[in-house]
Structure 1
Amino acid sequence: MDLFLTLVSGVAWTVVYVEAIRVGLRDRTYAMPVAALALNFAWEATYAVGEFRAGVSPQGVVNVVWALADVVIIWTYLRYGRAELPGFVTRPLFAAWSVLVFGSGFAVQWLFLAHFGSHDATRYAAFLQNLLMSGLFIALYADRRGPRGQSLVIAVAKWLGTLAPTLLFGVVEDSPFILGLGVLCSVFDLAYIGLLVWGRRVAAVPAGREPADPEPAGLTP
């Protein structure tokens, strides 16, 4: 069961990254909220180094692959992200802001590591930033007034990729804290999936086309 849930999580998150790259390049934007992207990249880079210090491991290899995928997503953010901001944001200001966001991502991960130790820090940081990402995806939809730079594949894969470790660490390993965070992630993820489905249905209805009201009986000539 442990191996199965780990594989589900690994495959699902890989799908998230690959689809985020594809959608970002297609829509000429970035497909992951930048604060969550910064935390994700810092988590993967930090714990990839930690894993390899003890020797080559499957999780360490996965972390490196995910970190490399994040580098491509970061490139889409750097390439297209300034266009999402107000016009007064100059290139130097955008660069300074980006350094602050990504630097803060590493600082947060290292603070978790210093306080909780590697075993708990990997889990606590991952689920807390996952919950943040779930909420920020909904905010991204609202900010862009639609699904540009987003996809149902990303939403579903993220949900499954988080649900699997929620069951593993929250249920199998009996951690109420992680179980609670995982449940909250699922609530937000399912809400986001519902939002994307609803948006598709609304977009599929031609503008101005509404069902005609039936004429009252007895008024037809």
Structure 2
Amino acid sequence: MDFYTILGLTGGLAWTLAYIEAIRLGFAQKTFAIPFWALALNFSWELVQSAYSIRHNSFSLQSYINIIWLLFDVLILVTYFLYGKKGFKNYANPAYFIPYSLIVLLISMLIEYAFIKEFGGTDGAVYSAFLQNVFMSVLFILMLIERRSNSGQSLFLAISKGIGTAASTVLFGALGHADLANLVFILGSICFFLDVVYINMLVKAKTSEVSIKTGN
């Protein structure tokens, strides 16, 4: 097994663990554990990439990982549609919850499709994945601020996401195709920084919560 395969498996496994934790948190705490715009983009990316692999009969290790992630994202979407409306009503009429959600999913699909049409299957997948990863890292920070608690969030999920993205950054940014390396490395580094910030914020939020419960 070469270093490229090890990095690919590390990234795939770490993100898989993050998805599993998101599903567990969602059903256990009756919430959704991935910010919806990030979830919609992830779901769309995996759906478009899986469809691309099937259409062109070009399967790799990443192709099979994408299909597994797609199935997990379906379950995370279930938690969103089951429990997301209670938070949505703080900002808009609950009657708009389903139309809004479907529009976001449609926009996400169009974005992922545009990346493939513009840059091709491989480059488009890498560009969009790292851009939306930065977006996701920002949204996790905003979700922690908005919820004012660690509800639907865990260090295990945050660290797994960080490791998954870091492994992919080394794979595609340091060792990958020269045409992709600079942008991927910069985006991956930004993502890693934001993930560290989020993990630090989450630790402080958990510490504060424990202090409040114990009266310290």
TM range (shorter): over 0.9
Q: 1:144 aligns with which of 134, 139, 147?
A: 147
Letter of the 1:113 counterpart: I
Give the AA of the match of 1:43. W
Instruction: Identify which of 73, 82, 102 aligns with 1:99.
Output: 102
User: Alpha carbons of 1:49 and 1:144: their partners in 2 closer, same or farther (altered >3 Å)?
Assistant: same
Residue in 2 aligned with 1:213?
Answer: none
* CA distance 1:55–1:123, change in 2 (3 Å): closer
Secondary structure of residue in 1 paired with 2:84? helix
Q: How many residues align?
A: 209
- State how far apart, in whole Å, the 1-side matches of 2:76 and 2:122 are: 27
For 2:94 and 2:17, the matched residues in 1 are separated by: 34
* Structure 1 residues 36-185: aligned runs within 5 Å: 36-53=38-55, 54-86=57-89, 89-91=93-95, 93-173=96-176, 174=178, 175-185=181-191
User: Residue type of the partner of 1:115?
Assistant: E
Amino acid at match of 1:157: S
Q: 1:194 aligns with which of 189, 200, 209?
A: 200
Letter matched to residue 18 of structure 1: I
Quick check: 1:36–1:129 contact (8 Å CA) kept in 2?
yes
Amino acid of the residue matched to residue 199 of structure 1? A
Q: Shift of residue 209 of structure 1? A: 4.7
Cα distance change of structure 1 residues 5 and 102 upon mapping to structure 2, 3 Å threshold: same
The Cα shift of 1:11 comes to: 0.2
Return the alpha-carbon distance in structure 2 between the equivalents of residues 8 and 143 of structure 1. Answer: 31
TM-score relative to the length of structure 1: 0.90
Give the number of the structure whose alpha-carbon radius of gyration is greater: 1
Which string of whole-angstrom CA distances, capped at 9 and with x for unpartnered residues, describes residues 114-157 of structure 1? 11111210100000000000000000001100110111111000
- Structure 2 residue runs without a partner (length 5+): none
Cα RMSD for the two superposed structures: 1.5
Deviation at 1:57, TM superposition (A): 3.6
Cα distance between partner residues in 2 of 1:126 and 1:48: 14
Q: CA, structure 1 residues 207+59, in 2 after alignment: closer, same or farther (shift >3 Å)?
A: closer
- C-alpha displacement of 1:52: 2.2
Counterparts of 1:180 and 1:148, CA distance in 2: 31
Identity value in percent: 37
- Kept in 1, the 8 Å contact 2:88–2:94? The answer is no
Q: How does 1:30-41 map to 2 (within 5 A)?
A: 30-41=32-43
Q: State the partner residue of 1:219.
A: none
Distance 1:125 1:79 in 2: 28
Name the one with the larger helix percent: 2
**What runs of 5+ residues in structure 1 fail to find an aligned partner?**
211-221
Alpha-carbon contact 2:32-2:84 (below 8 Å) kept: yes
1:172 CA displacement? 1.0
Aligned match of 1:3: 5
Change (3 A) 1:25 1:207: closer
